[in-house]
């Protein structure tokens, strides 16, 4: 294949990374290629610098230097220096010459270094990386979201550094500086891909863009001028195989390549992606994939671990598989952008993704342009992934103060604010304009407010703050708009293994210590281990009740939910279902029960009965499968009267909740409990559920 030689022909080109804490003198001199850095410490790149010897407790500005060895450029070639991820700001120098600056921890940056490295030789790359810790309580400037604030994060952690690869890329005279590929339409007859490229050219020229995907080859001709040129085009693929969530079908993925060819046929630059064909829409928070309604049984995820730079792909795969096997079909990448491998795995494993932009809380005025630029980078970076079905914007834009009530506080959200009204409109407008094929939710945790009264997805923390989990059903009946998509819920709990003193476990990001002591007072327990155990069992009970309540309201009006957090990034109090060290909490088993694809439930829930009182409770079947099921459902009731059995037989409608009938339970003496065992049996499975109802 003709064209410029790929960089792999002469790697490694970057070596001998070393670093030093910045001082005023060093900042002035460190970019000079003759600067003596013999006393600097070696550092791995990519990495977060707090994982490196000598920088474990460092916040602020770190200076990097590396040797860059390259061959001579051929005639007509250009050379680019690429950063795939730098947290958070960077100023880049090459052999003493200023190359440019970076901002945004996940964004890719590409600098033209043709004139600086045209000859064969070794050059000095110098990078000043700034990531000062922001002061709690002040409006934020850095757009890092959960990358710096994930629940369980120790207060001293800073993910700063050159945490993704740095590379050199050679191209011809026309380079593809930015690229986006999005499936905008798909059915059994045809799929349509919208493509966008920003081309950089040395001079005016006619070029061909050759697109190849799924056996289809498309050639379009464009005239470009010197400088940057934006080009958009569409490619149609006949008879595509559609991508589906794992419960509904297969996940075919196709390589997509775009080559920029100059008139003599030489390949000047190329881009590669993997793409899947499907459509997605959301109305009133009810998802449709390829036109079919899908109920979102979701979980929030943060970075897989604090040291995201070194997290293995195998660990990511194991994590996503475990989420899927627990019964979830939907992942919300909460307020951060993960590594690219994570999204490839979600594509392959058929997990739907709600991808958030990393904005949390209140920000200073003046970041709008930077936020819009990073939102555009996020869409360019991820839009080809079929697993991503929703773009999310700003989490809790109205405040940085912690949540203190089970239901959202409406009073604080009625007045307009710059963050919600200006910043969020700009960011969501950018994402919606760049990718109209997906639903964009401008912000989360925003209740209906004057004048729109629409609101967004909301967290509902019944069972944690001021109201028991059983009251979520009553709340949903009174305010159905507030439960259309419940994006967080459940109670917090402590890790099983107390590796540190309790104060350290409570002093982590997101810990709601006052709520913990109000719901489960430590003073009630003689031993800390028993208190810890109680927090974990309470979390399980709350989560089971919350999930079952929302499943019972499927599509009327609930479109889905996200059940707390999958795993905390460190030890501490959190809503995680799995401790940071991989130890499952009781909440995981509770979630697995509540997430069975076919689930017999009692609704509304009755966790307690008055002593000697006879209660009538409705029995339902939740069927999340896309087929009708012939079932036999048996209820075994053990109460003050003894044990009785009631049975139903019939058809459970596909993708629906069906009412079966009522059961009666009598409360005993105060402190006694009744149990209800439920069993649903079909031709290909058995599904169980169990309730313990206390007398008060």
* CA neighbor of 568 nearest in space, from 190, 149, 202: 149
Range 384-401 average pLDDT: 94
State which CATH number among 3.40.50.970, 2.60.120.260, 3.40.50.300, 3.90.950.10 fits the domain covering 7-169.
2.60.120.260
Place of tokens 């960011």: 427
What are the pLDDT digits (tens) for 510-554?
999 999 999 999 999 998 899 999 999 999 999 999 999 999 999
Q: What is the chain's length? A: 696
Given its phi and psi angles, is residue 487 left (phi above 0), alpha (psi -120 to 50 degrees) or beta?
A: alpha
How confident is residue 621, by pLDDT bands cut at 50, 70 and 90? very high
How confident is residue 135, by pLDDT bands cut at 50, 70 and 90? confident
Place of tokens 């490619």: 235
Q: What pLDDT score was predicted for residue 685?
A: 94
What are the pLDDT digits (tens) for 434-454?
999 999 999 999 887 665 567
The yes-or-no verdict on residue 667 having pLDDT over 90 is no
Q: What pLDDT score was predicted for residue 400?
A: 84
State the Cα–Cα distance between residues 184 and 433, nearest whole angstrom.
Answer: 13
**Mean per-residue pLDDT of the chain:** 93
Cβ neighbours of residue 322 closer than 8 Å, sequence gap 6 or more: none
Q: Is residue 563 within 8 Å of 546, Cβ to Cβ?
A: yes
Burial status of residue 307 (CB atoms within 10 A of its CB: 0-12, 13-18, 19 or more): middle
How confident is residue 668, by pLDDT bands cut at 50, 70 and 90? confident
Range 201-216 average pLDDT: 95
**By percentage, how much of the chain surpasses pLDDT 70?**
96
Which region among 238-252, 391-405, 412-426, 575-589 has the lowest average model confidence (pLDDT)?
A: 412-426
Query: Which DSSP string corresponds to 368-400?
Result: HHHHHHHHHHHHHHHTT-TTEEEEEEEESTT-S
Q: Is residue 108 within 8 Å of 168, Cβ to Cβ?
A: no
Q: What is the CATH number of domain 174-275?
A: 2.60.40.10
* CA neighbor of 62 nearest in space, from 97, 86, 34, 33: 86
**Where along the chain do its domains lie?**
7-169, 174-275, 280-595, 601-695
Reduce the secondary structure of 634-647 to three states and give it as a string.
EEEEEECCEEEEEE
State the Cα–Cα distance between residues 345 and 334, nearest whole angstrom.
Answer: 17
Q: Is residue 229 within 8 Å of 199, Cβ to Cβ?
A: yes
Q: What is the CATH number of domain 601-695?
A: 2.60.40.10
Range 316-328 average pLDDT: 98
Helices within 326-471 (DSSP H only): 340-349, 368-382, 418, 424-434
From residue 92, give the alpha-carbon distance in Å to each of 95, 129, 240, 614. 10, 9, 44, 74
The yes-or-no verdict on residue 1 having pLDDT over 60 is no
Q: What pLDDT score was predicted for residue 361?
A: 93
Range 23-46 average pLDDT: 96
State the Cα–Cα distance between residues 639 and 637, nearest whole angstrom.
Answer: 6
Q: What pLDDT score was predicted for residue 497?
A: 79
What are the pLDDT digits (tens) for 275-321?
999 999 999 999 999 999 999 999 999 998 999 999 999 999 999 99
Range 657-684 average pLDDT: 93
State the Cα–Cα distance between residues 59 and 349, nearest whole angstrom.
Answer: 38
From residue 628, give the alpha-carbon distance in Å to each of 197, 631, 634, 656. 46, 9, 19, 9
601-695 and 7-169 share a CATH fold? no
State the Cα–Cα distance between residues 72 and 118, nearest whole angstrom.
Answer: 6
pTM of this structure: 0.95
Rounded (5°) CA angle 202-204-209: 90
The fourth-level CATH superfamily of domain 280-595 is: Glycosidases (3.20.20.80)
Reduce the secondary structure of 507-565 to three states and give it as a string.
CCCCCCHHHHHHHCCHHHCCCHHHHHHHHHHHHHHHHHHHHHHHHHCECCCECEEEEEE
452 or 490: which leads in pLDDT: 490
Give bridge partners of residue 67 from the DSSP assignment.
15, 124
Q: What pLDDT score was predicted for residue 502?
A: 84
Q: Is residue 83 within 8 Å of 164, Cβ to Cβ?
A: yes
């Amino acid at each position: 294949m003709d064209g410029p030689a790929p960089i792999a022909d002469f790697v490694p080109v970057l070596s001998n990374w070393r670093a030093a804490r910045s001082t005023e003198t060093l900042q002035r001199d460190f970019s000079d290629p003759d600067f003596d850095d013999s006393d600097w410490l070696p550092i791995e790149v990519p990495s977060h610098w707090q994982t490196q010897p000598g920088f474990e407790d460092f916040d602020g500005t770190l200076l990097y230097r590396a040797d860059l060895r390259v061959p001579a450029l051929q005639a007509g070639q250009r050379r680019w220096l690429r950063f795939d991820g730098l947290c958070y700001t960077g100023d880049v120098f090459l052999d003493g010459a200023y190359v440019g600056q970076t901002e945004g921890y996940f964004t890719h940056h590409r600098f033209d270094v043709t004139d600086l490295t045209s000859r064969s030789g070794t050059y000095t790359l110098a990078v000043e990386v700034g990531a000062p810790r922001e002061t709690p309580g002040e409006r934020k400037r850095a757009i890092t979201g959960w990358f710096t604030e994930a629940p369980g994060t120790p207060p001293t952690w800073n993910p700063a550094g050159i945490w993704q690869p740095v590379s050199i890329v050679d191209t011809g005279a026309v380079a593809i500086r930015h690229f986006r590929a999005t499936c905008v339409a798909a059915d059994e007859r045809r799929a349509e891909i919208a493509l966008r490229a920003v081309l950089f050219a040395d001079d005016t020229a006619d070029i061909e863009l050759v697109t190849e995907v799924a056996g289809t080859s498309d050639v379009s001709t464009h005239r470009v001028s010197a400088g940057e040129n934006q080009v958009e085009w569409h490619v149609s693929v006949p008879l595509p195989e559609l991508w589906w969530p794992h419960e509904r079908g297969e996940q075919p993925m196709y390589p997509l390549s775009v080559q920029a060819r100059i008139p003599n046929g030489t390949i000047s630059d190329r881009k590669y992606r993997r793409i899947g064909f499907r459509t997605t829409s959301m109305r009133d928070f009810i998802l449709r994939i390829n036109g079919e309604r899908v109920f979102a049984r979701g979980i929030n995820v943060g970075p897989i671990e604090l040291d995201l730079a070194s997290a293995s792909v195998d660990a990511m795969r194991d994590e996503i598989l475990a989420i899927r096997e627990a019964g979830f079909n939907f992942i919300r990448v909460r307020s951060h952008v993960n590594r690219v491998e994570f999204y490839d795995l979600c594509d392959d494993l058929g997990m739907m993704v709600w991808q958030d932009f990393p904005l949390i809380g209140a920000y200073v005025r003046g970041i709008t342009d930077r936020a819009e630029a990073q939102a555009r980078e996020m869409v360019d970076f991820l839009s080809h992934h079929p697993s991503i079905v929703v773009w999310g914007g700003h989490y809790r834009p109205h405040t940085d103060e912690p949540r203190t009530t089970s239901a959202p506080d409406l009073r604080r959200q009625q007045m307009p604010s710059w963050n919600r009204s200006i910043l969020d409109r700009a960011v969501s407008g950018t994402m919606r304009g760049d990718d109209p094929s997906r639903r964009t939710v401008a912000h989360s945790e925003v209740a209906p407010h004057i004048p729109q009264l629409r609101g967004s997805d909301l967290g509902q923390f019944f069972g944690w703050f001021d109201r028991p989990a059983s009251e979520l059903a009553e709340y949903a009946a009174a305010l159905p708009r507030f439960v259309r998509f419940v994006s967080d819920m459940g109670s917090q709990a402590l890790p099983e293994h107390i590796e540190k003193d309790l104060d350290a476990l409570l002093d982590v990001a997101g810990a709601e210590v006052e709520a913990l002591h109000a719901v489960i007072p430590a003073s009630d327990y003689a031993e800390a281990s028993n208190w810890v155990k109680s927090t974990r069992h309470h979390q399980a009970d709350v989560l089971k009740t919350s999930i079952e309540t929302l499943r019972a309201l499927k599509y009327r009006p609930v479109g889905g939910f996200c059940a707390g957090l999958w795993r905390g990034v460190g030890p501490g109090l959190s809503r995680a279902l799995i401790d940071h060290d991989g130890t499952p909490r009781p909440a995981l088993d509770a979630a697995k029960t509540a997430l069975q694809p076919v689930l017999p439930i009692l609704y509304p829930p009755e966790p307690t009965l008055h002593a000697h009182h006879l209660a009538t409770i409705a029995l339902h079947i939740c069927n999340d499968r896309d087929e009708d099921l012939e079932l036999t459902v048996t209820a075994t009731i053990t109460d003050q009267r003894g044990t009785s059995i009631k049975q139903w037989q019939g058809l459970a409608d596909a993708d629906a909740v069906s009412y079966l009938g009522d059961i009666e339970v009598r409360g005993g003496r105060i402190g006694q409990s009744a149990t209800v065992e439920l069993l649903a049996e079909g031709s290909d499975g058995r599904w169980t559920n169990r309730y313990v109802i206390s007398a008060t």
